[in-house]
């Protein structure tokens, strides 16, 4: 069995973002980078399937040279090899272009199962996984919070609104997009981090895979307007607490 | 602009979120048709053409068949925009259609700016204004971003549609939400813990403040996923929607999924070290402080009142 997990490198969301000179994306300098949180669950699930079945697991990531750091984490978590699709402009590509790159890479490799996160933390479109499946002609299930594989069938739980879940089945080959809470992503151990350094990490140029045109353009990136009216309290915690209590007495009935 | 709105039907009910699609279309003064895989006995209140496929044949979740049905309707209607809710149904089906039609998809629209669609980025810290490059755009709308001022009205002109009903993904059933124990929706004061609490031991600080305020404690999704707090206390899209008199968000950044569950609270206090955290958009008071230092002091002062 052959498995593929697709990951993205994103900035830490606690970062202080600045808008880049073109005004269409955030400034990529001075940021701490990490694996997209949803993708950590995808990697963990893929590694669990690999451990249970002896399958072969490739991790794929699109982006500039620096994404290799994030790929190393996936390799240390248990992926067998990395496929880096080198693309310095990946942050400007729309979801259809990204899906086209993944599909072009996967086209002739007969993956039985493809895992992705349900969305990225920075762009948040939630489209890439499903579009990849469409381009490859595979069935896809989104937003899974439960996963079981038996023979050639996957039984997954989809998370719906209000805490309701749907149980859904599909036959391999298939693609699933992973939601937070699907499992508990492991921390790579030191021996596994050392081993990961020796694993194969091949690089393919994006332009050699796909040159699909963009369907969507970003006109501008802005900071949301603050709604206003909110009061900021700062400084000594004792004073902050006193002022907060005064405000609660004035503005609410909960301390009455 | 000619639009096709995609309504939803789940667990034998028409979902009310179709009214948000109608409200969105109203912003453009658009000519609209609607599509629904549902039951003719319960039709959306909508004055226009409704393409209706029978849920008994096509299922509540059968993406292959629903996509096929929609592709036929799109060929007939030739819309310039197809609009879904950004829901478990919409975000699942919309990209399938977009890939088939090679159309731009715009996910989780929160506003319209001069006819252009605006979506959040980076956990709502940024906003992108986007434009499709082709003749057709597919949009999914963030829950609650658009609402009708008047109640939905009208009765649709129903056009029954059919297609091949085969699907490779099969819905086996539903699992109800976990309930029991505390019911946060009845609480007047809720103090919620977010990722910023740092470690499970600090939940007691949040619970302590809740008690001092005569309320209950809740949590955001990451805290529930980490099993520091039970699921029946989770506030947000995939948990509870609450509207207490006072909501205190401790170490919660304010992801849209969380805001959707608490933004109707009467008074919101945010406690966070990151003064740019999007929770600030809904907070009446924002205490820029480390909750581990502020909560014990605040709780003690409240107990002394």
Residues 6+ apart with CB under 8 A from B196: B250, B251, B252, B253, B272, B273, B291
CB contacts under 8 A, B 95-114 vs A, are 95-96, 98-100, 102-108
Residue B172 located in a structural domain: no
Q: Which residues of A touch B178 (CB under 8 A)?
A: 163
What is the token pair recorded at A198? 């020796």
Do B6 and B112 belong together in one domain? Answer: yes
Do B150 and B197 belong together in one domain? Answer: no
Q: pLDDT over 70 for what percent of chain A? A: 98
Closest-CA distance, B55 to chain A, in angstroms, reads 16
Closest-CA distance, B147 to chain A, in angstroms, reads 18
Predicted pLDDT of residue A240: 95
Residue B35 located in a structural domain: yes
The C-alpha atoms of residue B271 and residue B291 are separated, in whole angstroms, by 6
Task: Give the CATH number, domain containing residue B296.
Answer: 3.40.50.1220
Mean pLDDT across the stretch A124-138?
98
Residue in A127, A157, A166 closest to B105 by CB: A127
Give the DSSP per-residue string, chain A: -EEEEEE-EEE-TTS---B-TTSSSB--TT--EEE-HHHHHHHHHHHHHHHHH--EEEEEEEESTTHHHHHHHHHHHT-SEEEEEE-TTGGGS-HHHHHHHHHHHHTTS--SEEEEESS-SSS----HHHHHHHHHT--EEEEEEEEEEETTEEEEEEE-GGG-EEEEEEESSEEEEEPTTSS-PPPPPHHHHHHHTTS-EEEEEHHHH--PPPSEEEEEEEPPPP---PEEE-S-HHHHHHHHHHHHHHH-STT-
B166 by Cβ neighbours in 10 Å (0-12 / 13-18 / 19+) ranks as exposed
Domain end among B106, B126, B160: B160
Task: Give the CATH number, domain containing residue B136.
Answer: 3.40.50.620
Residue A224 pLDDT grade (very low, low, confident, very high; cuts 50, 70, 90): confident
pLDDT surpasses 90 at A32: yes
What is the token pair recorded at A164? 């309701």
Do B155 and B191 belong together in one domain? Answer: no
Query: Is there a contact between B95 and A95 if contact means CB atoms under 8 Å apart?
Result: yes
B149 by Cβ neighbours in 10 Å (0-12 / 13-18 / 19+) ranks as exposed
Residue B114 located in a structural domain: yes
Closest-CA distance, A199 to chain B, in angstroms, reads 31
ipTM of this complex prediction, to 2 decimal places: 0.92
Q: Locate the chain B residue with the closest alpha carbon to A153.
A: B169
CB contacts under 8 A, A 102-141 vs B, are 121-127, 130-131, 134-135, 139-141
pTM of the model: 0.89
pLDDT surpasses 90 at A34: yes
Residue B239 located in a structural domain: yes
Q: Which residues of B touch A122 (CB under 8 A)?
A: 121-122
Q: Of the candidates A7, A11, A8, A48, which has an alpha carbon nearest to the alpha carbon of residue A28?
A: A11
Residue in B133, B168, B224 closest to A171 by CB: B168
B150 at A interface, C-beta within 8 A: no
A158 at B interface, C-beta within 8 A: yes
Q: Which residues of A touch B288 (CB under 8 A)?
A: 232-234
Q: What is the pLDDT along chain B (305 residues), one digit of tens a residue?
A: 999 999 999 999 999 999 999 999 999 988 899 999 999 999 999 999 999 999 999 999 999 999 999 999 999 999 999 999 999 999 999 999 999 999 999 999 999 999 999 999 998 889 999 999 999 999 999 988 898 888 889 999 999 999 999 999 999 999 987 766 788 988 999 999 999 999 999 999 999 999 999 999 999 999 998 889 988 899 998 888 999 999 999 999 998 889 989 988 999 999 999 988 999 989 999 999 999 999 999 999 999 98
Q: What is the mean pLDDT of chain A?
A: 95
Cβ–Cβ < 8 Å for A75, A196: yes
Predicted pLDDT of residue A33: 97
Q: Per residue in A74-117, pLDDT tens?
A: 999 999 999 999 999 999 999 999 999 999 999 999 999 999 99
Predicted pLDDT of residue B179: 65
Q: Considering the domain A2-209 in this protein, what is its CATH number?
A: 3.40.50.620
Domains of chain B: total: 2
Q: Which residues of A touch B125 (CB under 8 A)?
A: 13, 17, 223-224
Residue in A215, A230, A242 closest to B286 by CB: A230
Predicted pLDDT of residue A227: 63
The C-alpha atoms of residue A197 and residue A202 are separated, in whole angstroms, by 13
Do B14 and B50 belong together in one domain? Answer: yes
pLDDT surpasses 80 at A256: no
Residue B177 located in a structural domain: no
Sorted by where each begins, the domain ranges of chain A are 2-209
Residue B167 located in a structural domain: no
Q: Which residues of B touch A19 (CB under 8 A)?
A: 126
Do B136 and B191 belong together in one domain? Answer: no
Query: Is there a contact between B99 and A240 if contact means CB atoms under 8 Å apart?
Result: no
Residue B215's domain comprises: 184-303
Do B94 and B152 belong together in one domain? Answer: yes
Domain end among B160, B195, B227: B160
Cβ–Cβ < 8 Å for B52, B3: no
The C-alpha atoms of residue B70 and residue B33 are separated, in whole angstroms, by 12
Do B151 and B188 belong together in one domain? Answer: no
- Angle of the A95-106 helix axis to the B90-101 helix axis, nearest 10: 80
Q: Per residue in A153-206, pLDDT tens?
A: 999 999 998 888 999 999 999 999 999 999 999 999 999 999 999 999 999 999
Q: Of the candidates A37, A10, A1, A6, which has an alpha carbon nearest to the alpha carbon of residue A115?
A: A6
Residues 6+ apart with CB under 8 A from B153: B45, B47
Mean pLDDT across the stretch A12-23?
92
Q: Locate the chain B residue with the closest alpha carbon to A121.
A: B122
Residue B288 located in a structural domain: yes
Domain end among B103, B127, B160: B160
Predicted pLDDT of residue A162: 80
Q: Per residue in A46-60, pLDDT tens?
A: 999 999 999 999 999
């Amino acid at each position: 069995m052959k498995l593929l997990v697709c990951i993205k490198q994103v900035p830490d969301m606690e970062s202080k973002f600045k808008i880049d000179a073109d005004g269409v994306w955030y400034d990529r300098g001075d940021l701490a980078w990490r694996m997209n949180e949803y993708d950590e669950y995808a990697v963990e699930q893929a590694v669990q399937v690999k451990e249970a079945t002896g399958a072969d697991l490739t991790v794929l990531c699109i982006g500039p040279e620096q994404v290799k750091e994030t790929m190393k984490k996936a390799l240390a978590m248990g992926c067998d090899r990395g496929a880096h699709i080198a693309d310095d402009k990946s942050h400007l590509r729309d979801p259809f272009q990204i899906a086209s790159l993944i599909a072009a890479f996967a086209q002739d490799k007969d993956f039985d199962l493809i895992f992705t996160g349900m969305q990225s933390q920075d762009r948040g479109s939630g489209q890439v996984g499903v579009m990849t499946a469409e381009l490859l002609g595979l069935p896809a299930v989104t937003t899974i919070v439960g996963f079981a594989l038996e023979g050639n069938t996957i039984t997954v739980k989809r998370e719906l609104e209000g805490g309701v879940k749907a149980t859904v089945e599909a036959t391999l080959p298939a693609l699933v997009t992973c939601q937070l809470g699907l499992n508990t992503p492991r921390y790579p151990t030191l021996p596994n981090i050392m081993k990961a350094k020796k694993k194969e990490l091949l690089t393919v140029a994006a332009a050699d895979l796909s040159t699909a045109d963009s369907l969507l353009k970003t006109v501008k990136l802005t900071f949301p307007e603050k709604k206003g009216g909110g009061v900021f309290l700062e400084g000594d915690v004792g004073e902050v607490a006193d002022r907060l209590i005064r405000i609660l007495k004035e503005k609410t009935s909960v301390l009455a | 602009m000619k639009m096709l709105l995609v309504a939803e039907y789940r667990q034998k009910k028409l979902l009310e979120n179709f009214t948000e699609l109608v409200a969105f279309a109203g912003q453009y003064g658009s000519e609209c048709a609607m599509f629904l895989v549902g039951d003719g006995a319960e039709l959306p209140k909508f004055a226009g053409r409704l393409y209706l496929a029978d849920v008994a044949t096509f299922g509540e979740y059968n993406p292959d068949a629903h996509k096929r049905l929609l592709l036929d309707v799109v060929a007939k209607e030739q819309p310039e925009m197809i609009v879904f809710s950004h829901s478990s149904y919409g975000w699942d089906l919309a990209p399938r259609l977009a890939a088939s039609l090679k159309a731009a998809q715009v996910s989780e629209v929160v506003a319209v700016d001069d006819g252009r669609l605006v979506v959040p980025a980076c956990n709502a810290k940024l906003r992108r204004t986007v434009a499709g490059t082709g003749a057709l755009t597919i949009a999914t709308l963030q829950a609650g971003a658009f609402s009708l001022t008047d109640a939905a009205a009208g009765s649709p002109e129903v056009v029954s549609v059919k297609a091949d009903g085969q699907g490779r993904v099969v819905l086996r059933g539903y699992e109800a939400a976990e309930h029991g124990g505390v019911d946060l929706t009845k609480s007047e004061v809720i103090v919620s813990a977010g990722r910023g609490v740092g470690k499970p031991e600090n939940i007691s600080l949040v619970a302590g403040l809740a008690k001092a305020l005569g309320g209950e404690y809740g949590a955001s999704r990451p805290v529930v996923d980490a099993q520091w707090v039970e699921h029946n206390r989770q506030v947000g899209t995939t948990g509870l929607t609450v509207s207490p008199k006072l909501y205190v968000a401790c170490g919660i950044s304010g992801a849209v999924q969380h805001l959707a569950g608490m933004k109707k609270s009467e008074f919101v206090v945010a406690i966070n070290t990151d003064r740019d955290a999007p929770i600030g958009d809904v907070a009446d008071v924002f205490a820029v402080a480390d909750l581990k230092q502020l909560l014990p002091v605040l709780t003690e002062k409240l107990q002394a009142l």
